[in-house]
């Protein structure tokens, strides 16, 4: 198989974890005779420093000409005081929009060996296997106006939560399709008791559900969902929700597994290319120290192999290697538990590589 992959390391720990994931990708390529042609490009604060914009046109072109995209993370305190359009996070919002990546998939599975690293009790999290499908190109992060303004003669600010019906429908359809491949339950999360966009969201979810009689649909208000995720996470299979609710709930779901450093994600469009990235940020507090957990990014590569290239066997081999390495007790600092061996980023990558 011959595939072009755009690689966007970004800022902070981004380059460290992406280097590890690329190594694993290359090992898979060598062992199973696939040609992965990598093109590196800039995004985020490093791109602003070099070119004045966090998402140069060249990066968009490279991504559009690729079969899949691997991204590290963007951001850092040194760029916080820049005007909005130069800030690293704008690069992220813009690439999602430019590639129409409307559905962000964030699976959370509980590794048995990591159950002790979770702040929750073992019997609550053992066996958790859920996926958050977050709408990614609409809602309050993109609505206009979004600005400082004057309200009733007093200074204030406004953001706008808006959705076209078709934007709601396509992401809910995606969630139902995914549920068909799993245990066939969709929980649609909204705030229909307060928000008009949520009432429309709920109507559309009910309409889509009619096309999937084999899948069970339930509705849940977002505040209750936040509570249920901690109280009884095993009740969930596929959670589908709008952009901001999904942002918050998927970070919450990540603590179930013990660390942000374990969670991979993929962002899908109608026609591709899809984008793969860890759900965590650029972790400026530990950047450059070779201690970041590379597993979320490595697992993002396995998602890429499965969803973009249909290489199910190779994807499973990476996942099994990660599981074995954890079972052997190798831990980066964020997932450290009693009786385990502390390893650096590069040592963790090397262990997974050897296991493959
Ligand atoms: P963060 O996810 O970067 O870090 C939160 C905490 O988790 C930190 O203590 C960090 O050290 C730890 N952590 C994160 N990933 C880790 C890993 N792989 N291994 C070990 N520990 C890890 O979130 P934070 O601190 O709120 O944001 C830092 C910067 O990242 C900000 O500029 C923010 O805007 C940006 N950000 C970027 C995202 C992206 O590129 N997709 C997503 C979230 C935040
Ligand atoms: Mg977030």
11 is catalytic: no
The alpha carbon of 203 is separated from its chain's Cα centroid by a whole number of angstroms, namely 27
Pull the structure tokens for residue 238.
């596929």
Pull the structure tokens for residue 326.
């954890």
Mutate to test the pocket of ligand 1, among 280, 291, 331 (most ligand atoms within 8 A of CB): 280
Residue corresponding to tokens 């992406």: 18
Residue 297 CA: nearest ligand 1 atom is 18
Query: How far apart (Å, rounded) are the C-alpha atoms in residues 10 and 50?
Result: 12
Pull the structure tokens for residue 266.
């993929």
**pLDDT-derived band of residue 337, with 50, 70 and 90 as boundaries?**
confident
247 is catalytic: yes
On average, the pLDDT of the chain sits at: 95
DSSP letter at 335 equals G
| Ligand 1: residue whose CA is nearest its atom 33 | 75
Residue corresponding to tokens 């702040």: 119
184 is catalytic: no
DSSP letter at 343 equals -
Residue range 1-104+262-356 in CATH 3.40.718.10: yes
Instruction: Identify the pLDDT of residue 258.
Output: 65
ipTM over 0.90: yes
Angle between helices 345-355 and 14-32 (to 10 degrees): 10
The per-residue pLDDT for range 254-285, each reduced to its tens digit, is 778 767 889 899 999 999 999 999 989 999 99
Q: In the chain, where do the E strands start and end?
A: 2-10, 35-40, 68-73, 103-109, 129-135, 143-151, 154-160, 185-190, 216-221, 238-241, 264-268, 274-278, 330-331, 341-342
Residue pair 77/88 in contact by the 8 Å Cβ criterion: no
The per-residue pLDDT for range 104-145, each reduced to its tens digit, is 999 998 888 887 777 788 889 888 999 999 999 999 999 999
Mutate to test the pocket of ligand 1, among 76, 267, 281 (most ligand atoms within 8 A of CB): 281
| Rounded average pLDDT over 304-315 | 97
With a threshold of 0.90, does the pTM exceed it? yes
Mark the residues whose beta carbon lies below 5 A from ion ligand 2.
Answer: 247
Fold match between domain 1-104+262-356 and domain 119-257: yes
251 CA to centre of ligand 2 in angstroms: 6
- Give residue limits of the domains in the chain: 1-104+262-356, 119-257
| Rounded average pLDDT over 8-31 | 98
Instruction: Identify the pLDDT of residue 187.
Output: 98
Residue corresponding to tokens 């070119």: 51
Region of 153 (left: φ > 0; alpha: ψ -120 to 50; beta: rest) is left
Residue pair 237/186 in contact by the 8 Å Cβ criterion: yes
Instruction: Identify the pLDDT of residue 98.
Output: 96
Measured from CB, residues less than 6 Å from any atom of ligand 1 are 13, 17, 73-76, 89, 92, 260-261, 277, 280-286, 292-293, 296, 334
Residue 72 CA: nearest ligand 1 atom is 40
| Ligand 1: residue whose CA is nearest its atom 6 | 283
Q: What is the CATH code for 119-257?
A: 3.40.718.10
Query: How far apart (Å, rounded) are the C-alpha atoms in residues 304 and 69?
Result: 8
């Amino acid at each position: 198989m011959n595939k072009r992959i755009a690689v966007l390391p970004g800022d902070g720990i981004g380059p460290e974890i992406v280097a590890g994931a690329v190594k694993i990708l290359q090992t898979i390529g060598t062992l199973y005779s696939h040609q992965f042609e990598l093109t590196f490009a800039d995004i985020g604060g490093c791109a602003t420093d070099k070119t004045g914009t966090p998402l140069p046109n060249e990066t968009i072109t490279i991504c559009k000409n690729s079969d899949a995209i691997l991204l590290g993370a963007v951001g850092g305190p040194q760029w916080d005081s820049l005007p909005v359009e130069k800030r690293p996070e704008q690069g992220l919002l813009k690439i999602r929009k430019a590639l129409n990546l409307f559905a962000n998939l964030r699976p959370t599975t509980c590794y048995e060996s990591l159950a002790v690293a979770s702040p929750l009790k073992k019997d609550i999290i053992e066996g958790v296997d859920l996926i958050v499908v977050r709408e990614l190109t609409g809602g309050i992060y993109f609505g206009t106006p979004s600005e400082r303004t004057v309200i009733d003669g007093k200074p204030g600010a406004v953001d706008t939560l808006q959705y076209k019906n078709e934007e709601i429908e396509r992401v809910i359809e995606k969630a139902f399709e995914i549920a068909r491949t799993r245990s066939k339950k969709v929980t649609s999360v909204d705030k229909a008791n307060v928000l008009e966009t949520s009432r429309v969201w709920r109507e559309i979810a009910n309409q889509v559900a009619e096309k999937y009689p084999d899948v069970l649909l339930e509705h849940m208000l977002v505040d209750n969902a936040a509570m249920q995720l901690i109280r009884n996470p095993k009740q969930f299979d596929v959670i589908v929700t709008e952009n901001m609710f999904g942002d918050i709930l998927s970070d919450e779901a990540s603590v179930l597994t013990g660390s942000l450093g374990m969670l991979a994600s993929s962002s899908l469009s109608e026609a591709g290319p899809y984008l793969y990235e860890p759900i965590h940020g650029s972790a400026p507090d530990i950047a450059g120290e070779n201690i970041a957990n590379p597993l979320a990014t490595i697992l993002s590569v396995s998602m890429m192999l499965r969803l973009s290239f249909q290489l199910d066997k190779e994807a499973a081999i990476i996942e099994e290697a990660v599981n074995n390495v954890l079972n052997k007790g190798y831990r980066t600092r964020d997932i450290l538990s009693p009786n385990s061996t502390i390893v650096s980023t590069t040592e963790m990558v090397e262990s997974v590589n050897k296991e493959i």
